Structure 1
Amino acid sequence: MSLNERDVHALLDVTHAGAGPRRRGLLRGALGLGYAAAAGPLVAQTAIKTPADGLVAGDVQIPVGAETIPAYRAAPAGRVGLPVVLVLSEIFGVHEYIADTARRFARAGYLALAPELFVRQGDPSGYGEMARLLAEVVAKVPDEQVARDLDACLDWAVAHGGDGQRAAVTGFCWGGRQTWLYAAHSPRLKAAVAWYGRLEGERTALQPRHPIDVVNQLKAPVLGLYGGADTGIPLASVERMQAALAQGNAAARASRFVVYPDAPHAFHADYRPTYRAEPAADAWRRCLAWFAQHGAV
């Protein structure tokens, strides 16, 4: 089964879906190793490799009530009182790209925590077909479960060297949508950065609200980083969100969008053909500056 990008976005917030065939390359066995098969062809020459020397980096277990969920943690070694950033993955889970992004934040001085938010529903790395991954795993993840898991991640980070007064969240694609929602959920956040996360959509029992519905509940300002050539998130959707933010509460009015005119969806995903080096680098600088501007540094 093959879906085009617009069809996939209509279901859930995902990257383009002509990625039905299995991809050549390594699959991850543990968090942060290899890449998810359903992500499509690997562009190895552009994938950024951030070393872990000087960092404590690897898998940890996060208690959530009577359960635990795995997460990839990266932080400067031997330091405490660190600002915290939660890194929310695409639909492909915590593979090498997300782990590398966490290490980039660690090199900027953060305790970065990338939780595997699909663990109860399935393992994204085991899927070679986008449609099956969406239907069998991603579509079954309740937004309420994500918020509860992220609350537990913040608790864990504070207990393991993080400063709860300097907490932020950022996420890509599916994680970008969750970034908006978590910024409306958690009063502990100072700032949020959403990378091309869906803003509107059909409301369901598991996804009862979308970012445009929670504008007046935002508790931290959000920077939205979007591509003007994203065929799954039209500029009209961004414009409607901008209009809603302008009429929202203080955190909403402080939120901003940066749209890169020629960038497609997933322009930061350096392991994919959608990667665009210049917008990705500019957006990364803006992400760090946004956190600093709002006290999450």
Structure 2
Amino acid sequence: MSERSTELDQAAFDSLLPTAQMNRRGFVTTLAAAGFALAVQPVQASTVITTDASGLDAGSATVKASGSELPVYYARPAQGEKLPVVLVVQEIFGVHEHIRDVCRRLAKQGYLAIAPELFFRQGDPTKLENVADILSSIVSKVPDAQVMADLDACAEWAVTRGGDAARLAITGFCWGGRITWLYAAHNPKLKAGVAWYGRLDGAPSDNQPKQPIDVAANLNAPVLGLYGGQDQGIPLDDVEAMREAIKAAGKPGDIIVYPDAPHAFHADYRPSFRKTEAEDGWKRLLEWFSKNV
């Protein structure tokens, strides 16, 4: 994330402080009880969408990855084998209740959804109280290569839970949206990806040597990008450049821009949530996976 977008994100959060009707301690306690990272406050007190686990096998597990035990949340139909698999990649706030709910939504559609805690080696974002701290002390220290390897391990683990290795997809939000593009260029077995408002360009670093725009010509699977026209952290010029790069490389894919939507328009636990755009994006995701996976 660029310095500019980091500052904008922090300013956006700071402008939405809890009202006097609930003090800070009470507000944070409510969020923690609901399974949200402290860092996402201030947010709405609850999600707009709540998906129960009836008819599902859902819960926590660990996956052996690069000599470590990677914590994951998974959800799948209680019955069935050879299920299509979706890797669900978190925002910078970790695998909190919203991400777990996304997994259950996908499971209700017949998928085995897996959300790995991709920051677990570097730190726990639920223990930090602002975006700047998460970015500097955790996110900046997470190597892309480590993330790719962890996602590969989750894809392999999925087979032991009734997943079909030949029907693999990925979706991710914000930080996870960027990872979605990168993973589509990394794994030749991937069938489809849906990237929600993931960063597309930026300065390289040791941990993040390439950005999605750099790997557009290497995509192994069709990726659908979903972006907001009012996103202050992702310039529309970057979105259009990515669209052109995919087209120039002859790669299948599509990018949708919702003109009036801000960043994180799918995050129904944040004030940025936009119901119309979120519902349309989710419909497009299901259609994309149904067509390609």
In the alignment, the residues of structure 1 paired with residue 279 and residue 10 of structure 2 have an alpha-carbon distance, to the nearest angstrom, of: 21
Give the aligned partner of residue 134 of structure 2: 133
Does structure 2 retain, via aligned residues, the 8 Å contact 1:203–1:210? yes
CA distance in 2, matches of 1:6, 1:217: 24
Cα shift at 1:26: 3.5
Q: CA deviation at 1:34?
A: 1.2
Aligned residue among 278, 289, 292 for 2:276:
278
Alignment gaps of 5+ in structure 1: none
Structure 2 residue aligned with 1:9: 5
- Deviation string for 1:67-126 (max 9, x for gaps)? 111000000002211000000000000000000000000000000000000000000111
With the length of structure 1 as denominator, give the TM-score of the two structures: 0.90
Alignment of 1:1-297 (within 5 A): 7=3, 9=5, 17-19=11-13, 24-28=28-32, 34-44=35-45, 46-249=47-250, 252=251, 254-294=252-292, 296=293
> Secondary structure of the equivalent of 2:155?
helix
CA contact (8 A) 1:28 1:95 kept: no
Looking at structure 2, the residues matched to 119 and 156 of structure 1 have their Cα atoms a distance apart, in angstroms, of 18
Q: C-alpha displacement at 1:211, in angstroms?
A: 0.2
CA distance 1:119–1:257, shift in 2 (3 Å): same
Give the CA deviation at 1:157.
0.2
Q: Call closer, same or farther: CA 1:229–1:49 in 2, change over 3 Å.
A: same
Distance, in Å, in 1 between the alignment partners of 2:160 and 2:59 is: 17
Could you say what secondary structure the match of 1:19 adopts? helix
Match of 1:94, SS state, is coil
Offset at 1:28? 4.7
Task: Give the whole-Å Cα distance in 2 for the aligned partners of 1:266 and 1:156.
Answer: 29
Q: Which letter maps to 1:9?
A: S
Runs of 4+ in 1 over 4 A off after TM superposition: 14-17, 20-23
> Which string of whole-angstrom CA distances, capped at 9 and with x for unpartnered residues, describes residues 114-167 of structure 1?
000000000011110211111111110000000000000000001210011111
Larger relative helix fraction: 2
Instruction: Give 1:27 shift.
Output: 4.8
CA contact (8 A) 2:10 2:132 kept: no
Contact 2:6 2:132 in 1 (8 A): no
The 8 Å contact of residues 10 and 201 in structure 1, kept in 2 or not, is answered as no
Q: CA deviation at 1:47?
A: 2.5
Q: Mind listing any 5+ residue stretches in structure 2 that lack a counterpart?
A: 18-23
What letter is aligned with 1:161? G
The CA RMSD over aligned residues, in Å, is: 1.9
Of stretches 44-53 and 85-94 in structure 1, the one that deviates more from structure 2 is 44-53
- Counterpart contact for 1:229–1:263, Cα < 8 Å: yes
- Give aligned pairs, total: 283
8 A contact 2:51–2:105 mirrored in 1 = yes
* Contact 2:66-2:149 at 8 Å conserved across structures: no
Quick check: 1:181–1:210 contact (8 Å CA) kept in 2? yes
In 1, distance between residues paired with 2:129 and 2:241? 35
